[in-house]
Amino acid sequence: VDENATADGSTRKFVSVHVDPLIRPEVYRDPDEDVQDKILFVLNNVSEQNIDEKLRDLTDVLRDQHHQWFASYLVEERAKLQPNFQQLYLDLLDRINDKLLWAEVLRETYVSVSKLLNSEATINSSTDRGHLKNLGAWLGSLTIAKDKPIKHKNVYFKGLLLEGFDSQRLTIVIPFTCKVLVQATKSTVFKPPNPWLMDILALLMELYHFAELKLNLKFEIEVLCKDLDLDHKTIEPSVIIRDRSAHIEDALSTA
């Protein structure tokens, strides 16, 4: 079996992104239509003003077995498409205060991210790239904004950027990465000079200076640094890409 093949038979592009298995597959089933309608009604009508009242309506009908359905719907149909409402949905999740549901929402976020990163269509679709940026902000809000790490096994950002560089997919990978990392501004743990963050920024700066990036991608990196209160001109670029190119040239010249 091809390790990199996905369920639909297409080859997975990025090995730096990995989705964990379902947390409780034996428990999950989709809610019936009546319950779905009630849940959608809550999500359509919730606001910061009525959030406590709507939370009661939601917890009246949302059961453990609906978690995967709810998580998938929240990520795919809401967080991905409605960036302006992400904070509201996060507040709702905070108030539901269920660790397993939170974990399932995070897992479904990786599912959506993985789909968009690996889809050929995303390269040429500004809509899909916009959705991926929305998911980046959402992922950062679920994790680093709350001082929770993004595990290397789920998204290894340096690997992702290198794979993006190698496969000419930086137009997808850089904006996504920047949208995740900017959430570090809300963190006490992950804001500069956090080593995990600075390590990824060093690679972004190497791409900035040496990867012949289009101006809009350079701008994404500049905005990220500015939001993190860093001067991009003072960040020392890594030498990962240049080292690799040097090794290849050495190998060719001695061949």
Q: How far, rounded to the nearest angstrom, does the alpha carbon of residue 60 sit from its chain's CA centroid?
A: 30
- What tens digit of pLDDT does each residue of 22-72 get? 999 999 999 999 999 999 999 999 999 999 999 999 999 999 999 999 999
Is pLDDT at 253 greater than 80 in this prediction? no
pLDDT band at 2 (very low <50, low <70, confident <90, very high): very low
pLDDT of residue 10: 52
User: What is the Cα–Cα distance from 244 to 169, expressed in whole angstroms?
Assistant: 18
pLDDT of residue 8: 47
- What tens digit of pLDDT does each residue of 196-248 get? 999 999 999 999 999 999 999 999 999 999 999 999 999 999 999 999 877 77
Higher pLDDT, 13 or 101: 101
Q: Would you tell me how many other CB atoms lie within 10 Å of the CB of residue 119?
A: 15
* CB-based contact 65:30 (threshold 8 Å): no
pLDDT band at 1 (very low <50, low <70, confident <90, very high): very low
Mean pLDDT of the chain: 93
- What tens digit of pLDDT does each residue of 156-178 get? 999 999 999 999 999 999 999 99
User: What is the Cα–Cα distance from 15 to 242, expressed in whole angstroms?
Assistant: 22
pLDDT of residue 9: 46
Q: What is the pTM of this model?
A: 0.92
- What tens digit of pLDDT does each residue of 133-149 get? 999 999 999 999 999 99
Greatest CA span in the chain, whole angstroms? 72
Contacts of 200 (CB under 8 A, 6+ apart): 157, 158, 161, 177, 181
pLDDT band at 11 (very low <50, low <70, confident <90, very high): low
